[in-house]
Amino acid sequence: MSEFLFEKVALIGIGLIGSSIAINIRERGLAREVAIATRREETLRRAEELRLGSSFHLDPAEAVRDADLVILCLPVGSCGAATEAMAKGLKPGAIVTDVGSVKGAIVRDVGPHLPAHVHFVPGHPIAGTEQSGPDAGFLELFENRWTILTPLPDTDEAATEALRRFWEATGAMVEVMTPEHHDMVLAIVSHVPHLIAYNIVGTAADLETVTQSEVIKFSASGFRDFTRIAASDPTMWRDIFLTNREAVLEMLSRFSEDLASLQRAIRWADGEALFDLFTRTRAIRRSIVQAGQDTEEANFGRLKPRRGDPWNEKGTTAPGE
Ligand code: NAP
């Protein structure tokens, strides 16, 4: 029996998520070899300087050669083309997975390019920050965070279990569900909240009666939290909205109805309706803290950087997705 979970892992894409996986493999000894492929020479050289892998490639087909586990760590919209480019190098029995924030589109775009002799188990670690690139990764990113796996009905169960063990070894908790259910859940917990943040920051930027400098100067309250989310990577988020269109539109129409009823409550001075909703939402926040998915410290504990808590040390904040 090997001391490693996998002999060779190939990471296609080496940004925040790819580099965090690479650091986990290196620091926790999860694989003997790590091959890294990325599109730009500059990113590849940086990954090499950071010692994120044992071999470095511009051609993904070369990186995946002999790999037992291949992880696509790319924006959702580029996973199909990358799979097409690497497919001929995949070894029989390899597990192919990804980390994309949308799962239906990955099944649709990646699946058809894969040879029948590999196991396809799409995945999504619900952990992240608003930083990108190979310098952004850190060991603790996945600790105590959920990773969702969305195997297809004909996926080999042993492949799903092997991938589960890999994620658990990074400190993550793993849940299995269908790609459709994943996309619906993520639309409400992540995608629509990001859209709201992009929208409110955009509205503030366009206001004529309040100057930009006032928006920045007085942003200490709610607005500042939205700006953190609205600073997330534009390519990644463009792809999320283009590829999870249906679920996002469905959740947005529910959201708009609820917003209209809040608008009515304010217009008719219905304090009871406002108070009831705010009481219910406060309880949800409490449940998130109780589930260990955030801290109850004031201001998310953000004012006092704690050692060993990289997003605080970097002056950034709570995990995104
Ligand atoms: P990132 O830091 O921006 O890194 C992206 C990587 O993909 C880089 O290696 C980049 O290569 C490559 N890339 C970008 N555009 C490409 C294209 N058109 N074709 C080929 N390669 C391309 O991204 P990330 O934050 O790690 O996100 C990667 C995936 O993880 C996304 O699918 C995202 O949905 C998912 N995810 C993100 C988070 C988060 O909070 N960030 C959380 C969970 C899941 P070059 O630098 O060489 O151009």
Closest ligand 1 atom, residue 240 Cα? 34
Q: For residue 125, report the distance from its CA to the centre of ligand 1, in Å.
A: 13
Q: For residue 16, report the distance from its CA to the centre of ligand 1, in Å.
A: 7
Closest ligand 1 atom, residue 321 Cα? 42
Whole-angstrom Cα distance, residue 196 to residue 91?
Answer: 43
Question: Judging by beta carbons within 10 Å of its beta carbon (0-12, 13-18, 19+), is residue 96 exposed, middle or buried?
Answer: buried
Rounded (to 5) percent helix, strand, coil in the chain: 55, 10, 35
Task: Give nearest CA residue, ligand 1 atom 23.
Answer: 15
CA-closest candidate to residue 46, choices 22, 66, 69, 25 = 22
Closest ligand 1 atom, residue 233 Cα? 3
- Can you give the pLDDT of all 321 residues of the chain as single tens digits? 688 999 999 999 999 999 999 999 999 999 999 999 999 999 999 999 999 999 999 999 999 999 999 999 999 999 999 999 999 999 999 999 999 999 999 999 999 999 999 999 999 999 998 899 999 999 999 999 999 999 999 999 999 999 999 999 999 999 999 999 999 999 999 999 999 999 999 998 888 788 888 888 888 778 898 999 999 999 999 999 999 999 999 999 999 999 999 999 999 999 999 999 999 999 999 999 988 888 887 665 555 444 444 433 333 334 456
Closest ligand 1 atom, residue 76 Cα? 32
Helices (H), the chain: 16-28, 41-49, 60-63, 79-86, 104-110, 157-169, 179-186, 192-206, 212-217, 222-229, 234-243, 245-267, 271-290, 310-313
Kindly report, residue by residue over 210-259, the tens digit of the pLDDT: 888 888 888 877 889 899 999 999 999 999 999 999 999 999 999 999 99
Which pLDDT score is estimated for 300? 58
Whole-angstrom Cα distance, residue 30 to residue 21?
Answer: 10
Task: Give nearest CA residue, ligand 1 atom 43.
Answer: 321
Task: Give nearest CA residue, ligand 1 atom 18.
Answer: 78
Q: Which amino acid is at 252?
A: L
pTM as predicted: 0.90
Tokens 């569900």: give the residue.
Answer: 177
CATH 3.40.50.300 fits 182-313, yes or no: no
Q: Is 36 helix (H, G, I), strand (E, B) or coil?
A: strand
What architecture is domain 6-177? 3-Layer(aba) Sandwich (3.40)
Where in the chain are the domains?
A: 6-177, 182-313
Task: Give nearest CA residue, ligand 1 atom 31.
Answer: 75
Which pLDDT score is estimated for 298? 67
CB atoms under 10 Å from CB of 48, counted, come to 15
Binding pocket residue ranges, ligand 1, CB within 6 Å: 13-18, 38-40, 43, 73-76, 78, 82, 99-101, 124-125, 128-129, 132-133, 233, 235-236, 320-321
Which pLDDT score is estimated for 310? 42
Task: Give nearest CA residue, ligand 1 atom 1.
Answer: 15
Whole-angstrom Cα distance, residue 75 to residue 162?
Answer: 24
